[in-house]
């Protein structure tokens, strides 16, 4: 142990160092992996196998008992059974994922949507109600309105601007049927904030001895580095790992993090639905996690330059960036301003499209959180399914551009944006 400190403090500091857990960015390179189970390989191999050999029939019987939540005949650790239930790459990935949010357990899925749909189906039954923050990711919004509605699950929405009293008013007499609250914060693409603590209080106030109203937060935009919803009272954190966690725009995956009892129910549903991630994608995500922190920090630092530059441009009407949000809520919930920047150009769709079509380096594509910068038009693309009056109410208009800032040199990103803004035809 290394202790280079003044004598009077040394004992205390050595004690602290010895007892301190590795930080997540340190743990990402090795945590949960035992090299000598894999011929001493420094990195976890990809276990491309559908099924696993049991040493004895008794062992197989016990593994299955445990998979069904029953006690094994003798004390043993759960073992590997079948890759729709468990697999070494998936288990190591889940061990590492839970560290960022300091959660009890994580589950990895084949996509963000499978994490969200499996989690919601784990707890909602016909007749139940779900309360959600507006706007949600388009896929989630459609899932709630077109799929869950068909199963007799009702939904109630609220906006970032709503306070506790108006949310309660929206819930009205449906409180006894309220089973879940799903929140996405910061809201996409406006970066409006939802108070997680306030939602946790609402969830608690509608909980009874018979039912706990669960609060789930889709933390894709700011996690797992800059926001930790479990610390603010959420029960479940959800991710599209396609975004920052994967980080290279080359995989589709999802994650849920929760307490052991909540996760037991989610994992049971995942086994039945078959929405688990595969070993190869897990391995790619293990690789991504090693650079998660430096990637996200580089993107956030670039985003700050871009947002500040946009703020002073004569053709830019408004910039939507967390760094310009001075509220106590922003400070409490987030440790960074993130890497998502939206802005309104002066004009409307024609001006926004002229800008997008003139970009040379930044790709015109939906999605976010990758190493490369992307630009898109929320009104006609990611939020095409949101009714126009709702879009207008949320401040999501035809003149808005959404940028996902990557890890390029910030001056190159700004030069591209600057040239594209110059290409907008000036109205005569």
Ligand X SMILES: *Cc1c(COP(=O)(O)O)cnc(C)c1O
The answer to whether residue 113 forms part of the interface with ligand X (CB under 6 A) is yes
Query: What binding mask, one character per residue, do residues 152-171 give for ligand X by CB under 6 A, x or -?
Result: --------------------
CB of 139 to ligand X, least distance (A): 5
Q: Which of 62, 105, 218, 398 binds ligand X (CB under 6 A)?
A: 218
Strand (E) positions, 81-149?
Answer: 105-109, 129-134
Closest CB to ligand X: residue number: 112
The answer to whether residue 141 forms part of the interface with ligand X (CB under 6 A) is no
Output 171 or 238, the one with its CB closest to ligand X: 238
Applying the rule CB under 6 A, the residues between 12 and 31 that interact with ligand X are none
The answer to whether residue 111 forms part of the interface with ligand X (CB under 6 A) is yes
The answer to whether residue 381 forms part of the interface with ligand X (CB under 6 A) is no
Residue 39's CB is within 10 A of a number of other CB atoms, namely 7
CB of 259 to ligand X, least distance (A): 22
Residue with tokens 């004895």: 56
Distance of CA 255 to the CA centre of its chain: 7
130: helix, strand or coil: strand
The answer to whether residue 304 forms part of the interface with ligand X (CB under 6 A) is no
CB of 55 to ligand X, least distance (A): 37
Closest CA to 162 of 188, 127, 179, 187: 187
User: Is the CB of residue 231 less than 8 Å from the CB of residue 71?
Assistant: no
CB of 243 to ligand X, least distance (A): 6
Applying the rule CB under 6 A, the residues between 219 and 278 that interact with ligand X are 220, 240, 242-243, 252, 254
Token pair listed for 148: 């869950």
CA dihedral (317, 320, 321, 324) in degrees, to 10, reads 70
Residue with tokens 């990557």: 406
The answer to whether residue 120 forms part of the interface with ligand X (CB under 6 A) is no
Q: What is the DSSP letter of 276?
A: B
Only one of the segments 68-76, 136-144, 153-161, 371-379 lies at the binding site for ligand X (rule: CB under 6 A); that segment is 136-144
The answer to whether residue 137 forms part of the interface with ligand X (CB under 6 A) is yes
CB of 246 to ligand X, least distance (A): 8
CA distance 158 to 167: 6
Burial of residue 99, with CB atoms counted within 10 A of its CB: 0-12 exposed, 13-18 middle, 19 or more buried: buried
Residues that bind ligand X (CB under 6 A): 111-113, 137, 139-140, 184, 188, 218, 220, 240, 242-243, 252, 254
């Amino acid at each position: 142990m290394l202790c280079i400190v003044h004598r009077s403090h040394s004992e205390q500091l050595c004690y602290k160092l010895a007892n301190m857990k590795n930080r997540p960015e340190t743990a990402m390179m090795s945590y949960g992996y035992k090299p000598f189970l894999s011929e001493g390989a420094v990195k976890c191999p990809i276990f491309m196998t559908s099924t696993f050999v049991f040493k004895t029939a008794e062992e197989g019987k016990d593994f299955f008992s445990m998979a069904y939540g029953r006690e094994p005949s003798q004390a043993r650790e759960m073992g590997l059974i079948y890759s729709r239930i468990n697999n070494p790459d998936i288990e190591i990935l889940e061990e590492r994922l839970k560290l960022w949010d300091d959660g009890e357990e994580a589950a990895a899925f084949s996509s963000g949507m499978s994490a969200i749909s499996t989690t919601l189906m784990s707890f909602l039954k016909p007749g139940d109600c779900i309360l959600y923050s507006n706007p949600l990711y388009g896929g989630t919004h459609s899932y709630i309105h077109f799929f869950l509605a068909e199963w007799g699950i009702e939904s109630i929405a609220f906006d970032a601007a709503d306070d506790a009293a108006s949310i309660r008013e929206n819930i009205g007499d449906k409180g006894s049927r309220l089973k879940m609250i799903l929140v996405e914060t910061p809201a996409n693409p406006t970066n409006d904030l939802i108070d997680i603590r306030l939602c946790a209080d609402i969830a608690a106030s509608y909980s009874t001895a018979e039912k706990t109203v669960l609060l789930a937060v889709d933390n894709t935009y700011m996690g797992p580095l800059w926001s930790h919803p479990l610390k603010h009272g959420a029960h479940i954190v959800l991710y599209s790992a396609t975004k920052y966690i994967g980080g290279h725009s080359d995989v589709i995956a999802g994650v849920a993090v929760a307490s052991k009892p909540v996760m037991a129910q989610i994992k049971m549903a995942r086994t039945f639905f078959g929405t688990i991630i595969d070993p190869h994608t897990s391995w790619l995500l293990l690789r991504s996690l090693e650079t998660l922190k430096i990637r996200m920090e580089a993107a956030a630092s670039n985003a700050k330059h871009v947002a500040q530059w946009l703020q002073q441009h004569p053709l830019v009407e408004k910039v939507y960036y967390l760094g310009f949000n001075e509220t106590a809520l922003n400070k409490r919930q987030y440790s960074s301003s993130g890497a998502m920047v939206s802005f309104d150009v002066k004009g409307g769709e024609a001006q926004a499209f002229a800008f997008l079509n003139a970009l040379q380096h930044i790709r015109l594509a939906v999605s976010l959180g990758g190493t490369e910068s992307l630009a898109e038009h929320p009104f006609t693309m990611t939020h095409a399914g949101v009714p126009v009056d709702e879009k207008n109410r949320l401040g999501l208009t035809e003149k808005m551009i959404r940028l996902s800032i990557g890890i390029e040199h910030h001056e190159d990103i700004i030069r591209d944006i600057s040239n594209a803004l110059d290409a907008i035809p000036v109205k005569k």
